[in-house]
Chains A and B, each alone.
Chain A
């Protein structure tokens, strides 16, 4: 299975940012079996990166690899939706029930 490359844009370490990071880490660990590379970008520190990616909302999650490119905004509180949105479900064994 190929490695996933994920970028998460946040605005400072607000509760919402922390929530998004925690949610994402849990999904990655549990569903991607650790096969992932996660970059967390604080737009307050790296605004130019947000400009380059034309990020408006935070948190924004970008799945760079594997293709296709996907964008999810929000605190990622719904695991199934995140997996669906990232188009990663097919890479993992769907759990029964």
Chain B
């Protein structure tokens, strides 16, 4: 293992699989073999096919696909749905199959010793034929089912692996796993290719399937650690969601913009920061959607492009409500300043939602964005998945220097906090609480700015009312305590004075 060649740093080859190049710090180790292990249904074949497809589509070179399990015809057919026309690439000599799948009706008798020389010769031939830079073998373990002599196959697979190394292609070998957390692969296949290992998982968590990808090791080079969620989308294939791989390098701006409510702006010392994320938390019917509506209208007035993602109400409902407050969403949309996207939370998994949102944001390029509500999304996901979603979304919109307003619904009417808050409060820059306050048998509403990063803000809990003109913030509650804890208690003025006197003495 000496010589100048060995001293070269390992190069990476960009896969162009969305998100994967981020978590792998630049792609797969070039001219090496990577083992991709996963249980059944973990999208191993998709990964193997996409690796070649993206190579052809993005100038990464042609590919050879060796299939041990499905027939070439099945793969051609199945991958059409993901947008890859393998048949056409084959005609254009960009893609070649080596079909090593079991041939039905072909009874094979084994008499004496044999080797897999023909397989190696076929792979070499195919690589030369299309001048391949990428090679996928899917899935290695399946070859054991075709031969009676496992010991021979095992030693022959070593030969295949070393032959692939010599070919100078960047290769993927997939292997079946029997359990999500356990041995890397069945049949001990990892023994053949142990330099680089990627694990795909498809875990059932609280009745929901969660797909993750983990780079277990890249020998001699770096990668991001841990599991990253991914999803498989029609027309696109696998999309990895690189959460912690996203760098915290977004600029922070001192420019303030209106929240859409001048009184609230005053409470926030002149408005919210242009690239900050605001969380509005409140019980149902407390005016969260109104705040969203005003936030959008405030943006439109300043000639900003606005976007609204609604997961709780239909378009018609939203538009009707807004009209009730004198705001015409329909006209704004016609003028191209606003885009309202309504989605049913249960329509897809949270990973898919995230990708849809990102795509919509990329297309419209809004200056401000509102999401109503996070809590609605929370119910279609596990806690872990939800956290990842919020982190993924916030870092994405912060990157684009977009002002964001998310709403969260508290579970109880009076006070209390929502689970949503617990998960996102550290991520958001500002938190505004809307609370019901019961006083002398009457319901009042209170608003307070709980936190605002990088700015001073009003510490009072103020009363607000809602009428046809929107939200009006009034005076602070002076003689009530316990609003936030959900147990408001009236305090007599004399008691108030005594209390404040107490502090003066102590101070």
Interface residue ranges, A against B (CB under 8 Å)? 9-12, 14, 16, 20, 23, 43-44, 47-48, 50-51, 54-60, 69-78, 81-82, 85
User: A55 touching B118 by the CB < 8 A rule?
Assistant: yes
Q: Provided the pairs A48-B125, A50-B118 are in contact, do residues A56 and B100 lie with their beta carbons within 8 angstroms?
A: yes
User: B114 touching A47 by the CB < 8 A rule?
Assistant: no
Quick one: which of B100-137 are within 8 Å of A by CB? 100, 103, 106-122, 124-126
8 Å CB contact of B109 from A12, A48, A71? A71
The residue of chain B having its C-beta at the shortest distance from the C-beta of A79 within the complex is B111
User: B115 touching A11 by the CB < 8 A rule?
Assistant: yes
User: B111 touching A11 by the CB < 8 A rule?
Assistant: no
Q: Provided the pairs A54-B103, A85-B109 are in contact, do residues A75 and B114 lie with their beta carbons within 8 angstroms?
A: yes
In the assembled complex, the Cα of A47 lies from the Cα of B103 at a distance in Å of 18
Mostly, the B contact residues are: mixed
Interface presence of B460 (CB below 8 A): no
Interface residue ranges, B against A (CB under 8 Å)? 98-100, 103, 106-122, 124-126, 143, 146-147
Contact residues in A for B117 (Cβ distance below 8 Å): 10-12, 14, 43-44, 57-58
User: A75 touching B121 by the CB < 8 A rule?
Assistant: no
Q: Provided the pairs A43-B117, A51-B126, A60-B118 are in contact, do residues A70 and B146 lie with their beta carbons within 8 angstroms?
A: no
The residue of chain B having its C-beta at the shortest distance from the C-beta of A53 within the complex is B118
Contact residues in A for B111 (Cβ distance below 8 Å): 72-78, 81-82, 85
Q: Provided the pairs A43-B121, A48-B125, A57-B115 are in contact, do residues A73 and B108 lie with their beta carbons within 8 angstroms?
A: yes
8 Å CB contact of B116 from A54, A56, A81? A56
In the assembled complex, the Cα of A82 lies from the Cα of B126 at a distance in Å of 32
In the assembled complex, the Cα of A44 lies from the Cα of B115 at a distance in Å of 14
8 Å CB contact of B122 from A12, A16, A20, A47? A47
Instruction: Determine how close the nearest CB of chain A comes to the CB of B416; give it in whole angstroms.
Output: 65
User: B114 touching A74 by the CB < 8 A rule?
Assistant: yes
In the assembled complex, the Cα of A72 lies from the Cα of B117 at a distance in Å of 15
In the assembled complex, the Cα of A50 lies from the Cα of B123 at a distance in Å of 11
In the assembled complex, the Cα of A51 lies from the Cα of B126 at a distance in Å of 9
The residue of chain B having its C-beta at the shortest distance from the C-beta of A51 within the complex is B122
User: A47 touching B124 by the CB < 8 A rule?
Assistant: yes
User: A50 touching B109 by the CB < 8 A rule?
Assistant: no
In the assembled complex, the Cα of A18 lies from the Cα of B82 at a distance in Å of 47
The residue of chain B having its C-beta at the shortest distance from the C-beta of A42 within the complex is B121
Per CB-CB distance, the 7 closest pairs between chain A and chain B, nearest first, are A11-B117, A47-B125, A74-B112, A75-B112, A77-B112, A85-B109, A55-B118
Contact residues in B for A23 (Cβ distance below 8 Å): 112
Instruction: Determine how close the nearest CB of chain B comes to the CB of A12; give it in whole angstroms.
Output: 7
